[in-house]
Amino acid sequence: MEYSSAEILRGVQEKHLLDDGVSVEDVANRTHNYFNQRGELQIPVLDEKRAAEEGRPEYPNGKEFAVCLTHDVDHICPQALKPQIRQLRTTVSNLVDNEARSSLVKSCLRQLYAFSRAAMSSGESASETVSGIDAIRDVERKYNAPSTFFVPPEHSLVESRLDPHISYSTCIEYDGETRPFTEVMKELLKEGVEIGLHPSLGTYRDSSALRTQRERLETVIGSSIESVRHHRLQYDIQSTPSVQAQAGFKYDSSLGIKGDNGFRFGTSYPWKLYDWTDTDTSDVLEIPLVLDEGFLKPGRGGISDATYMSYVDHFIREVKAVSGTLTLLWHPSFFDDGGRVALYESVLERLAEAGAWFTTIGQLGAWWNENVQSPS
Q: Which residues bind Zn ion (CB under 5 A)?
A: 72, 74, 231
Per-residue b or e along 206-223, where b marks 16 or more CB atoms closer than 10 Å to that residue's CB: bbebbbbbbeebeebbee
How far is residue 291's CA from residue 288's CA, in Å, rounded to a whole number?
10
Minimum distance between the CB of residue 187 and Zn ion, rounded to whole angstroms? 22
Minimum distance between the CB of residue 232 and Zn ion, rounded to whole angstroms? 6
Task: Considering the complex, state which of residue 250 and residue 331 has its C-beta at the smaller distance from Zn ion.
Answer: 331
Nearest residue to Zn ion on Cβ basis: 231
How far is residue 209's CA from residue 113's CA, in Å, rounded to a whole number?
22
Nearest CA among 76, 227, 207 for reference residue 150: 227
Task: Considering the complex, state which of residue 74 and residue 336 has its C-beta at the smaller distance from Zn ion.
Answer: 74
Task: Considering the complex, state which of residue 72 and residue 194 has its C-beta at the smaller distance from Zn ion.
Answer: 72
Minimum distance between the CB of residue 294 and Zn ion, rounded to whole angstroms? 10
How far is residue 140's CA from residue 10's CA, in Å, rounded to a whole number?
34
Minimum distance between the CB of residue 74 and Zn ion, rounded to whole angstroms? 4
Task: Considering the complex, state which of residue 325 and residue 333 has its C-beta at the smaller distance from Zn ion.
Answer: 333
Minimum distance between the CB of residue 326 and Zn ion, rounded to whole angstroms? 20
Task: Considering the complex, state which of residue 72 and residue 336 has its C-beta at the smaller distance from Zn ion.
Answer: 72
Residue 358 near residue 278 (C-beta atoms within 8 A): no
Minimum distance between the CB of residue 72 and Zn ion, rounded to whole angstroms? 4
List Cα–Cα distances, 227 to 44, 52, 147, 288, 367, in angstroms: 23, 28, 12, 12, 14
Task: Considering the complex, state which of residue 74 and residue 292 has its C-beta at the smaller distance from Zn ion.
Answer: 74
Residue 241 near residue 209 (C-beta atoms within 8 A): no
Task: Considering the complex, state which of residue 74 and residue 286 has its C-beta at the smaller distance from Zn ion.
Answer: 74
Minimum distance between the CB of residue 68 and Zn ion, rounded to whole angstroms? 16
HSE (side-chain half, CA atoms, 13 Å) at 3: 20
How far is residue 187's CA from residue 174's CA, in Å, rounded to a whole number?
9
Task: Considering the complex, state which of residue 329 and residue 348 has its C-beta at the smaller distance from Zn ion.
Answer: 329
Minimum distance between the CB of residue 154 and Zn ion, rounded to whole angstroms? 15
Residue 226 near residue 259 (C-beta atoms within 8 A): no
Q: Give start and end residues of each alpha helix (H) in the chain.
A: 5-10, 12-19, 24-27, 34-37, 47-54, 82-98, 103-121, 132-142, 181-190, 207-221, 240-246, 305-321, 341-353, 361-371
> In the chain, what are the helix, strand and coil shares in percent, each to the nearest 5?
45, 15, 40
